[in-house]
C-alpha cells in the first residue's frame, strides 16, 4: 500500500514537473499554427520590412517594420535607464551599503519589482507624460521617450537583484588577493570584482531587456500607439506587444488580421527566446570560469 | 447519512438539467448577425430580453454589416444588424431571391470631434477634419488656429467608432500613420484634455467639460442634431428582417425599439430614438 502511494506521488510530481514543458510546447505549436497562414497572403519579407500597418483597410497592409522598430527603440531607451540604475544600485548594495541600509534598500527594490505593470502604465500616462510634455515642450508626452523611461524603471529591480547575486558569487579570495597586492578599494572593484561578475551582470542586463521588450500594458498606455517609423525619441510609437493587445480583441477569428497578430507574437516569442538562451549561455560560462579559478 | 444527502442533491440537479434542456429545446430560436457597431446593442438587449422571455433563444453574432445582410438573404439569420442602409446591389440580390427586406432604425450613432479647452477653434468644416486626419493639414494655423503641431488622436483601427468615423468623415481614406491610436473613447478624451494641440473623436456620451466639442459644418453635436440628422458625423443604425417582422422576431425588435431597449441603447453610448 505504502509503495503504491509512493509511486502515485512520484507520478503526480513528475506530471507537474513536465506540465510547464507541455504548456511551452502547446504555446509554440499554437503560435506557429495561427501565425503561419499570414505568410500565404503576404511575403515574409514584406511582412517584416513593410512600412505600413493598416490591417483593417481594403486592401489591408501588413508591414510590421514600424512595430518592430518601436519595440527596439523603446527597449534600447529602457536599457539606458535600467543599466546605470540597476547595476549602480547593485554595486552600492553590495560594496558600500551598511547592514542597516541594505536591510531597507533590498526590500524596497523587491517591492518595486512587484508593482503591477498597469500601475506603472497609469503613473506614466497621468504623471510622467504630462510633466515631460510641459518640461520639454513636445506636442505630446505619450512617446517613445516616456515609455523608455517607465520601462527602464520597471526593469531596474530585475537588473539590480540579478547583478547583486552575481557580485555576491565573486569569491572572497579574489578580493583578498587583490588587497594583498596593494590595490585600493576602487581598483579592486573595477579591475577584479566587476570583471569577475561581468557575465553575471550581462545576464542581468539581458533579462532586463527581455522584461522590457515583452512588457505590454505599460507601453500600451504610455507609448502613444502610432504605427509610424519613429524619426526621434519624442515621436509616438506602437511596439509589437501593444499592437497585439489593442487589436486582438476585435480582429475576427481566422481573418488575416488575426493571423498577422499571431505572427507578431511568434516573432516576439523568438526574440525573448533568443534573449533567454543568450542569458543562459553567458551565465553558464560564468559559473565554469569561477569554478576553475575559485 | 452524508452519502444519502449527496445522492439526493445529485438527483435533483440532474432533474433540473433535464427540465432546463427541455425548455431550451422548446424555445424559439432567433439568429441576429451583422455590424460590430450594433453588436453591443444587440448583445445587451438580447440578454435582457431573454431574461424576460425564457421561451425565446436569441443568438447574436458580429461579422460586419455586409456579412449580416448576406446571411439574411441566404436565410441563415433572422435579423441583420447594419450600420448603413442596404445598397442597391443588395436590394437587387434580394429581389432575385424573392426576399423583401424591411428596415428598422434601432438607434442613432453620432461622433463628436473634440479639441483641448485652450484651443481657440470652435468650429471646423468636415473637409478640414478629413484633411487633419489624413495628414494634408498638420498645423493648427492652417485652419485658423494658433501656430502649433496638431496631435491627432484616433481609435484603434478595429473599433466600431473608428469604422464609423472612417466612413462618415474620411470616406475610406487612411488615417495618418503618426496618429495616436487609443483603445477607448475615455483614453481619447483624457489625452485631448491634457494635450493643447490635440484633436480626437468620441461618442456623444463622452463629451465632458474637460474637452471642447466642435461645431462641424456649423452644427453642434448633441442628441437633437444627431436625431434630426443635421449633424454631419451621424448615422442611423438598422436591423433588417425578411418581410415584416413577426412572431419572436417582432417581439424582440419591439423590445429594442421600446422604452427598455432604448434605455440600453443610451447606456451603450448611442443616441436613443426620442
Nearest to A139 among B36, B151, B156 (CB): B151
How much is the pLDDT for B9?
58
How much is the pLDDT for B216?
94
Give me the mean pLDDT over the A194-201 stretch: 87
ipTM at complex level: 0.73
How much is the pLDDT for B161?
79
Interface test with B, best of A134, A135, A222, A225 (most B CBs within 10 A): A225
Q: Which residue of B has its CA nearest to A235?
A: B178
Determine the Cα–Cα distance for residues B206 and B222; give it in Å rounded to an integer.
11
Determine the Cα–Cα distance for residues B220 and B123; give it in Å rounded to an integer.
9
SS (H, E, C) chain A: CHHHHHHHHHHHHHHHHHHHHHHHHHHHHHHHHHHCCHHHHCCHHHHHHCCCEECCCCCCEECCHHHHHHHHHHHHHHHHHHHHHHHHHHHHHHHHCCHHHHHHHHHHHHHHHHCCHHHHHHHHHHHHHHHHHHHHCCCCCCCHHHHHHHHHHHHHHHHHHHHHHHHHHCCHHHHHHHHHCCCCHHHHHHHHHHHHHHHHHHHHHHHHHHHHHHCCHHHHHHCECCCCCCCCCCCCECCHHHHHHHHHCCCCCCCHHHHHHHHHHHHHHHHHHHHHHHHHHHHHHHHHHHHHHC
Contact A250 B63 (CB under 8 A): no
How much is the pLDDT for B66?
81
Asked if pLDDT for residue A216 goes beyond 80, the answer is yes
Residues contacting A82, CB < 8 A, separation 6+? A151, A152, A153, A154, A155, A156, A158, A159, A205, A208, A212
Any A CB within 8 A of B191 CB: yes
**What pTM did the predictor assign?**
0.74
Spatial contact of B253 and B245, defined as CB atoms under 8 Å apart: yes
Q: Which residue of B has its CA nearest to A52?
A: B177
Give me the mean pLDDT over the A31-44 stretch: 92
Interface test with B, best of A244, A250, A253, A261 (most B CBs within 10 A): A250
Position A251 confidence tier, pLDDT thresholds 50, 70, 90 = confident
Nearest to B182 among A53, A225, A235 (CB): A225
Interface test with B, best of A51, A52, A54, A56 (most B CBs within 10 A): A56
How much is the pLDDT for A170?
87
How much is the pLDDT for B113?
95
Contact B63 A252 (CB under 8 A): yes
Any A CB within 8 A of B159 CB: yes
Per-residue pLDDT tens, chain B, 274 aa: give them: 455 565 565 555 555 555 554 444 457 899 999 887 788 899 999 999 999 988 899 999 887 788 888 889 988 999 999 888 888 888 998 999 889 999 999 999 889 999 999 999 999 999 999 999 999 999 999 998 888 899 999 988 766 678 789 888 998 888 998 899 887 788 889 899 989 999 999 888 778 889 999 999 999 998 889 988 899 998 889 999 998 888 899 999 999 999 999 999 988 878 898 7
Nearest to B158 among A56, A133, A140 (CB): A56
pLDDT, tens only, A58-107 = 788 999 999 999 999 999 999 999 999 999 999 999 888 889 999 999 89
Contact A246 B179 (CB under 8 A): no
pLDDT, tens only, A170-197 = 888 888 999 999 999 889 888 888 888 8
Determine the Cα–Cα distance for residues A56 and A250; give it in Å rounded to an integer.
10
How much is the pLDDT for B10?
59
Centre a 10 Å sphere on the Cβ of residue A64 and count the other Cβ atoms it contains: 28
How much is the pLDDT for B235?
85
Contact B157 A66 (CB under 8 A): no
pLDDT, tens only, A161-172 = 999 988 988 888
Q: Which three cell numbers stand for residue B271?
A: 443616441
Any B CB within 8 A of A246 CB: yes
Q: Shortest CA distance to B73 belongs to which of B239, B242, B238?
A: B242
Q: Which residue of A has its CA nearest to B190?
A: A126
Q: Which residue of A has its CA nearest to B172?
A: A57
Contact B178 A54 (CB under 8 A): no
How much is the pLDDT for A225?
87
pLDDT, tens only, A259-280 = 999 999 999 999 999 998 988 8
Amino acid at each position: 500500500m505504502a509503495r503504491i502511494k509512493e509511486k502515485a506521488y512520484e507520478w503526480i510530481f513528475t506530471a507537474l514537473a513536465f506540465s510547464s514543458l507541455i504548456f511551452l510546447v502547446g504555446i509554440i505549436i499554437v503560435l506557429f499554427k495561427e501565425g503561419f497562414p499570414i505568410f500565404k497572403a503576404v511575403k515574409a519579407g514584406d511582412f517584416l520590412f513593410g512600412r505600413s500597418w493598416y490591417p483593417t483597410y481594403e486592401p489591408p497592409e501588413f508591414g510590421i517594420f514600424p512595430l518592430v522598430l518601436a519595440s527596439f527603440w523603446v527597449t534600447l531607451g529602457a536599457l539606458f535607464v535600467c543599466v546605470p540604475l540597476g547595476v549602480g544600485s547593485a554595486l552600492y548594495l553590495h560594496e558600500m551599503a551598511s547592514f542597516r541600509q541594505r536591510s531597507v534598500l533590498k526590500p524596497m527594490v523587491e517591492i518595486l519589482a512587484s508593482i503591477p505593470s498597469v500601475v506603472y502604465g497609469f503613473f506614466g500616462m497621468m504623471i510622467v507624460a504630462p510633466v515631460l510634455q510641459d518640461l520639454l515642450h513636445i506636442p505630446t508626452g505619450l512617446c517613445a521617450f516616456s515609455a523608455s523611461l517607465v520601462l527602464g524603471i520597471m526593469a531596474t529591480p530585475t537588473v539590480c537583484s540579478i547583478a547583486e547575486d552575481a557580485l555576491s558569487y565573486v569569491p572572497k579570495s579574489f578580493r583578498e588577493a587583490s588587497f594583498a597586492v596593494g590595490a585600493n578599494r576602487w581598483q579592486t572593484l573595477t579591475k577584479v570584482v566587476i570583471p569577475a561578475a561581468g557575465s553575471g551582470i550581462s545576464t542581468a542586463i539581458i533579462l532586463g531587456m527581455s522584461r522590457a521588450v515583452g512588457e505590454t500594458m505599460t507601453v500600451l498606455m504610455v507609448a502613444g500607439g502610432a504605427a509610424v517609423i519613429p524619426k526621434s525619441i519624442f515621436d509616438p510609437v506602437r511596439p509589437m506587444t501593444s499592437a497585439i493587445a489593442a487589436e486582438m480583441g476585435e480582429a475576427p477569428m481566422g481573418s488575416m488580421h488575426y493571423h498577422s497578430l499571431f505572427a507578431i507574437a511568434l516573432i516576439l516569442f523568438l526574440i525573448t527566446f533568443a534573449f533567454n538562451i543568450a542569458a543562459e549561455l553567458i551565465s553558464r560560462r560564468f559559473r565554469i570560469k569561477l569554478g576553475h579559478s575559485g | 447519512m452524508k452519502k444519502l444527502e449527496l445522492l439526493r442533491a445529485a438527483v435533483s440537479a440532474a432533474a433540473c438539467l433535464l427540465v432546463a434542456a427541455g425548455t431550451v429545446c422548446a424555445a424559439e430560436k432567433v439568429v441576429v448577425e451583422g455590424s460590430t457597431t450594433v453588436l453591443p446593442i444587440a448583445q445587451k438587449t438580447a440578454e435582457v430580453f431573454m431574461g424576460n422571455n425564457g421561451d425565446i433563444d436569441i443568438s447574436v453574432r458580429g461579422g460586419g454589416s455586409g456579412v449580416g445582410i448576406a446571411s439574411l438573404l441566404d436565410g441563415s439569420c433572422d435579423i441583420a444588424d447594419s450600420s448603413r442602409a442596404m445598397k442597391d446591389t443588395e436590394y437587387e440580390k434580394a429581389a432575385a431571391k424573392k426576399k423583401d427586406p424591411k428596415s428598422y432604425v434601432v438607434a442613432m450613432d453620432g461622433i463628436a470631434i473634440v479639441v483641448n479647452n485652450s484651443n481657440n477653434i470652435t468650429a471646423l468644416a468636415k473637409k478640414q477634419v478629413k484633411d487633419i486626419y489624413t495628414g494634408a493639414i498638420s498645423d493648427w494655423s492652417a485652419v485658423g488656429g494658433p501656430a502649433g503641431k496638431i496631435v491627432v488622436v484616433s481609435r484603434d483601427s478595429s473599433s466600431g467608432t473608428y469604422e464609423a468615423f472612417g466612413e462618415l468623415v474620411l470616406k475610406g481614406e487612411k488615417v495618418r500613420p503618426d496618429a495616436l491610436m487609443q483603445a477607448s473613447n475615455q483614453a481619447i478624451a483624457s489625452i485631448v484634455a491634457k494635450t493643447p494641440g490635440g484633436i480626437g473623436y468620441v461618442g456623444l456620451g463622452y463629451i465632458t467639460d474637460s474637452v471642447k466639442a466642435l461645431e462641424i459644418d456649423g452644427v453642434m453635436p448633441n442628441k437633437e442634431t444627431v436625431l434630426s440628422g443635421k449633424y454631419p458625423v451621424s448615422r442611423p443604425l438598422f436591423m433588417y428582417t425578411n418581410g415584416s417582422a413577426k412572431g419572436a422576431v417582432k417581439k424582440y425588435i419591439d423590445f429594442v425599439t421600446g422604452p427598455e431597449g432604448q434605455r440600453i441603447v443610451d447606456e451603450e453610448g448611442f443616441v436613443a430614438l426620442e
